[in-house]
Chains A and B, each alone.
Chain A
Amino acid sequence: MIISVASGKGGTGKTMVSTSLAASIKNNYNVQLLDADVEEPNSHIFLKPVFETSHAVSINVPVVNEDRCNHCGKCAEVCAFNAIAVVKDFVLTFPELCHGCGACSYLCPRRAINEAPNQIGTVETGKAGSISFVQGKLDIGQTMPTPVVRKVKELTSREHISIIDASPGTSCPVIAAIKDSDFCLLVTEPTPFGLNDLKLAVETVKQMGIPCGLILNRAGVGDSRVEEYCQKENIPILLTIPLDLNIARLYSKGTTLAEGLPQWQENFKEVFRKIREITGERNSST
């Protein structure tokens, strides 16, 4: 089973939830945690994995063989991303704009373009106790997180309960992270920002046909509009975590709820049980 954790708004507690859920059920299941928030991967801070492998994530960018090139301009014409330009008698490439589609090299009439890998990030794997750990990291200055997210997702294991920590927002790296998951756990706070961004996240998962449930974090501040919205939209609230300075301090030190306040393990196990129930119902009804 694949459970993704998303939010719309940043800083609502996705990583705290992902890592606490993983730590709470690790004794009962084979658990894998995939940190797909490749711009700011933080799960490692909480689970402290020992990394065993590290692989570069690259996309193939054009390398022009000037001896063969006759500067016809076909490559620049077909490139949708302005990553290659022909200036009079030489060719300029901009690897940071290239999406690695391969059109330029394939369509070059003189076969003058080869492709070479350009590193944009890394994917690391390791173990945090019994939890299998995978994380992607986008290199500083790189603009395209999605290929790194896809590489992380390729390591999803069907023999595990896989928990995917997604990035905030609703654009392509988030879509890539939550795609194909059996359930999406949304985390928000009961504030106007939390509600506004939750609505965007709900719209996203609904469009993708992924069942979802909510964890309401920092309950006690703000207002009741998130709860009213969930009731109206029929989104189950699977757990409420209060605004509590002890919890905030644990978080600040990089400690999961499951480890810092072990009584919360039962709550996260219950969340997992409810997710199984919801996804099970769904499978049997289809």
Chain B
Amino acid sequence: MKEIVVLSGKGGTGKTSIVASLAVLAENKVLADCDVDAADLDILLDPSIQEKHDFAGGKVAFIDSEKCARCNICAQVCRFDAITDLKVDPLNCEGCGFCSHVCPVDAITMQPSFSGNWFISSTKYGPLVHARLGIGQENSGKLVAEVKRQAKIIAQSTGASWIIIDGPPGTGCPVISSLSGASTALLVTEPTLSGVHDLKRIIEVCQHFKVPALVCINKFDINEENTRLIEKHCQSLNISVAAKIPFDTVVTEAMVQGKPVLEYTKGRVSQEIEKLWNAIDSL
């Protein structure tokens, strides 16, 4: 079983649209949407939810005002400014529990904080594990880990050949969690200076965690000079540029129809995505 994670550094480069089309092409796979902050893969795959689970990733302090002796030691030790006037601001609370350990009258308990939900769904392309993080929640990395764990359980029980993971933007906690244990990272970039800058950073993250990378340049014809810059950079690092997808409004049209672009049209965009899949498949 191979695990392929689609990342980009910069947001909005086309990760989800590409994953949805890979879902059409790959056989015998499990899909996982690990962009738990802004999960959009379901919009293209039309899942029917089979299982829904609560996810409590972290904890938040709660002060029992009846027990509280108003000594304010809790606020003095808290390094996250989460306690003011003997009340906890759940948005600031890091869940460390320091306050609960120092409270002389045991008025503080750490309570599980609802962080979101995760789902197992069926789609016409195969099983999909996806999630929704509650607004402003910590622990998106833990929720990502849970989504991946579930995807792996399904893949093992069904003997799947692939787990295809739609990853989040950025380089932080949920990205590192998505990347851990992956066989290959597919990096989707665009030929803008921001895209190039962020590609370099995400390549470094892959190198740091020793996950081999493959690059796809989306909307490559928006700025062919920058496209050459990306190709050169990848070449110097011995990273293959597996496909160059042209800018085409069919990608958005397909999204509006709620379909993977590969099912919407057989044009140039779809041909390049097929080429991309062949490159991944032959790794």
Contact = CB atoms under 8 A, between A and B. Distances in A.
Q: Verify that A and B bind, or say they do not.
A: yes
A11 B192 CA distance: 11
Given A171-B133, A254-B193, A107 B101 contact: yes
Q: Nearest 3 CB-CB pairs, A to B?
A: A10-B11, A11-B12, A169-B37
Interface of A: 8-12, 15, 39-40, 42, 45, 78, 80-81, 99-103, 106-107, 138, 140-145, 167-175, 179, 191-193, 196-197, 200, 203-204, 207-208, 221-223, 245, 248-249, 251-254
Contact of B135 (A12, A207, A253): A207
B146 interface: no
B171 A172 contact: no
A256 B191 CA distance: 16
B118 to A, nearest CB: 15
Contacts of A208: 91, 136
B131 to A, nearest CB: 12
B60 to A, nearest CB: 11
B226 A141 contact: no
A113 to B, nearest CB: 13
Contact of B11 (A9, A144, A207): A9
Nearest to B204: A140
B256 A253 contact: no
A10 B256 contact: no
Interface in B75-131: 77, 79-80, 91, 94-98, 101-102, 110
Contacts of B175: 39
11 contacts: A8-B37, A101-B94, A107-B101, A169-B37, A171-B133, A179-B91, A192-B256, A193-B40, A207-B136, A208-B136, A248-B222
| Interface-centre pick from B12, B176, B223 (highest chain A CB count, 10 A) | B12
Contacts of A169: 37-38, 140, 168-170
Nearest to B98: A103
B47 interface: no
Nearest to A37: B170
B234 interface: no
Interface in B44-65: 59
A10 B101 contact: no
Contacts of A251: 192, 194
B28 interface: no
Given A40-B201, A45-B194, A102 B37 contact: no
A80 B141 CA distance: 15
